[in-house]
Amino acid sequence: MNKLKIAIQKSGRLYEESLQLLKDCGINISDGKDQLKVAAQNFPLEVLFLRNSDIPQYLEDGVADIAIVGENLLLETEKNVETVYQLGFSKCRVSLAVPKEIEDNGLQYFNGKKIATSYPNTLQKFLKENNIRAEIHTISGSVEIAPNIGLADGICDIVSSGSTLFKNGLRETVTLLTSEAVLAKTSKLNDEKEELLERLLFRIKAVLRAKNSKYILMNVPNEKIDLISKILPVLKSPTVIPLAEKGWSSIHSVIDQDRFWEVIDELKQNGAQDILIIPIDKMVI
C-alpha cells in the first residue's frame, strides 16, 4: 500500500505543534530529531523532516504529498500547491516595522526608503498595490538587525508576539497579511493517496473541532428550556434529561471556546444553574 508523505519543519515554530497534531490524531511517530524520514507505526504515513524554506518546492515537485507549513511561506514562494485546511495554530502576521524613535505609523513613511526582508515577493506585491516606491534588500535571517547597522530604514518580517522587534529597538507599524499553519498538498496526488489524505483530514478536523469546543451541562427550570436552547450554539439540538427534582431538567450541549464567557453569562442571566464545563478529546460530526 502507498504511504502518504507529509513534510514538516525539521526545527522551528511549526515543529512541535505539527508533531503534536499528528499525535492527537492517533498517529505514532518518533520526533525525528536525528532523522530526515520516519514512518508512522499505525497509519500509512511517512514524515519528511525538512528545512522550512524547502517545503513548498518539495510539494510542487511531488516529493512530498502534503505538508504542514506556514500560509505566509506559500504566499511568498507562489508554488503550484493547494491549501487544504487551515489548522489554527502558529498564528502570525507579516508586517512592516521601523526603529522605535520613528513616530510615523503610516505606509507613506516607506516611500523612497530601504526595506530589509526575507519576504521580497510579498512585500513587492504589497508596495505595488499601494503605490509605494521603496528599495527592497532581500536577506535571510536576522532581518531585525538591518536598521541598526544602517542597511535599511525599516523591515518587513513575520511577527508573533512582537518581542523580537522590541528587543531590537523596532516597532510594528503596518500589517501586510495574517498567517497560520495550513495543511497543503501537491497537485500530483493519485487516487489512492487522495483517499489517505481524506482519512487523515477526517482525524485532523475531529481534533481541531474538539480543541475549539467545550461540553457543557447545566440544570434548567423546565419553563426555561426553550429559551436556554435558543442561546446555546449547538450542533443540532441540545440533549434534555429530566431531573429527579420535579420541574427541572439537565441540558447537555457543545459550546464554542471563543464565545465561552459571553454565552455563560447569558445562560446564568436566563436561569441556568450548576453549570459544568468539560473538555472534549475528539469531536466527530
Give me the percent of the chain exceeding a pLDDT of 70.
Answer: 97
CA distance 139 to 130: 23
- pLDDT tens by residue, 257-275: 888 888 888 899 999 999 9
Q: Taking each helix axis from N to C terminus, what angle separates 191-211 and 15-24, rounded to the nearest 10 degrees?
A: 100
Give 276's strand partners.
217
Residue 122 CB neighbour total at 10 angstroms: 21
Query: Mean pLDDT score of the chain, rounded to an integer?
Result: 92
282 vs 244, residue with greater confidence: 244
- pLDDT tens by residue, 13-53: 799 999 999 999 999 887 656 778 999 989 999 999 999 99
**Amino acid of residue 260:** F
**Under 8 Å CB-to-CB from 222, ≥6 apart: which residues?**
247, 248, 249
Domains of the chain from N-terminus onward: 4-88+181-210 (3.40.190.10), 92-179 (3.40.190.10), 213-279 (3.30.70.120)
Backbone angles phi, psi at 63, to 5 degrees: -65, -40
